[in-house]
């Protein structure tokens, strides 16, 4: 009897169900006896023993279903070694749940914080398989994460829709795209949506350069400008601050986000109205796109193979369009950032897109 546990942790995305389905179908087609235990609401379910035995019916019809059938929650890695309000040792509790169910392995789907806890459990002796999920595409060691392409499609659609109203009213529009620490989603959606200016966390912007880019378009007879701005976009002045100083400044910011601050600054300098559109959590929602469905099916099948071969302690990555097992210890805690001097940024600049630098 093969017994596996599954959980989804951190922010949700469109293809979590598709990935779980891929794992289970890959095992069910090759293993005579299989039990799958689903832990509810991420690591919480593993800590407090909230789980249910899943059947084949649970994985039927979920390839196209967004969100996660198991529920999710955010459990900060830095607090995993801190007892809960009742003094419970979370790490020991997770281990006890694992051994109580006599699991052969635990399949964990999530992003960077989730991955760090997965690696902690590996270090504690549990058999772990990690599947890289995040719309931010910032997990080190894999070319792409599932959820990323679906989010690109939604963010690009938002920029597409803004184009028509921006052109009609000859306005400057800012579309705020998710991404606090990295700008992959903003970069791809900005290029795909034809944004004129793209502001990323990895490339601190100079407001004067942003204004110059808008004025340059105006001189060429372009009545509107669209900016794709990442949530974590940062000015050169703010980038020069210490982490503590910047955190204090953000806490005192009178605007809901950096996009509204940039809009106010542009408006003051140009004397014209600037509008902000925030797609927000729609970027995480809806059905997974076909690309993500294929990606998750492949990652799931590869995870199933690793489980059958008892090759644990790894993340199932996609490298050069091939699935690959990457040791968790080699990638946990690392971020994959946009390279400011990378080919894609250079090519975007070559066609006239400004990055405010």
Q: Which residues are catalytic?
A: 136
d(C-alpha 326, C-alpha 316), whole Å: 6
Beta strand segments in the chain, E: 2-8, 34-39, 51-54, 105-110, 128-132, 172-177, 197-199, 225-230, 274-277, 314-319, 322-327
Q: How far apart are CA 58 and CA 64, in angstroms?
A: 13
Crossing angle of helices 16-28/290-308, nearest 10°?
A: 40
DSSP assignment of 204-229 equals -B-HHHHHHHHHHHHHTT---EEEEE
How would you classify residue 121: left for phi > 0, otherwise alpha for psi between -120 and 50, otherwise beta? alpha
What whole-number distance in Å separates Cα of residue 327 and Cα of residue 129? 10
Could you tell me where the beta strands, DSSP code E, fall in 2-45? 2-8, 34-39
Rounded alpha-carbon distances, angstroms, from residue 31 to 68, 182, 217: 25, 40, 62
On whether the CB atoms of residues 155 and 279 are closer than 8 A, the answer is yes
Tokens 């940062």 label which residue?
Answer: 234
Q: What are phi and psi of 78, to 5 degrees?
A: -65, -15
Spatial distance between the Cα atoms of 119 and 129, rounded to a whole number of angstroms: 9
Which residues are registered as beta bridge partners of 132? Answer: 110
Q: How far is CA 12 from CA 9, 68, 121, 135, 306, in A?
A: 8, 7, 21, 9, 25
CA distance 14 to 150: 7
């Amino acid at each position: 009897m093969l017994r596996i546990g599954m959980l989804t942790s951190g922010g949700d995305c469109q293809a979590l169900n598709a990935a779980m389905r891929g794992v289970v179908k890959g095992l069910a087609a090759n293993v005579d006896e299989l039990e799958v235990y689903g832990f509810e609401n991420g690591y919480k379910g593993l800590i407090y023993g909230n789980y249910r035995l899943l059947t084949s019916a649970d994985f039927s019809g979920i390839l196209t279903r967004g969100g996660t059938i198991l529920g999710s929650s955010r459990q900060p890695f830095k607090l995993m070694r801190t007892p809960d309000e009742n003094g419970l040792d979370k790490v020991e509790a997770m281990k006890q749940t694992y051994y109580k169910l006599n699991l052969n392995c635990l399949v964990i789907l999530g992003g960077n914080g989730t991955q760090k806890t997965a690696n902690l459990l590996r270090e504690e002796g549990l058999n772990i398989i990690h599947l890289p999920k995040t719309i931010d595409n910032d997990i080190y060691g894999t070319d792409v994460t599932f959820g990323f392409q679906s989010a690109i499609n939604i963010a690009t659609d938002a920029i597409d829709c803004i184009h028509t109203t921006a052109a009609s009213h000859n306005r400057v529009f800012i579309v705020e795209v998710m991404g606090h620490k990295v700008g992959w989603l903003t970069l791809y959606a900005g290029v795909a949506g034809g944004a004129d200016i793209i502001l990323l966390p990895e490339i601190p912007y100079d407001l004067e350069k942003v204004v110059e880019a808008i004025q340059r378009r105006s001189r060429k007879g372009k009545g509107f400008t669209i900016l794709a701005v990442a949530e974590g976009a940062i000015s050169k002045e703010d980038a020069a601050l210490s982490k503590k100083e910047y955190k204090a400044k953000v806490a005192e910011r009178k605007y809901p986000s950096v996009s509204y601050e940039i809009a106010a600054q542009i408006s003051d300098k140009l004397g014209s109205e600037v509008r902000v559109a925030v797609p927000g959590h729609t970027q995480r929602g809806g059905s997974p796109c076909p690309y993500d469905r294929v990606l998750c099916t492949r990652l799931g099948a590869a995870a199933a193979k690793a489980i059958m071969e008892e090759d644990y302690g790894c993340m199932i990555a996609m490298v050069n369009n091939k699935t690959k097992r990457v040791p968790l210890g080699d990638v946990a805690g690392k971020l994959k950032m946009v390279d400011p001097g990378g080919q894609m940024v250079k090519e975007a600049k070559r066609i006239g897109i400004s990055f405010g630098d």
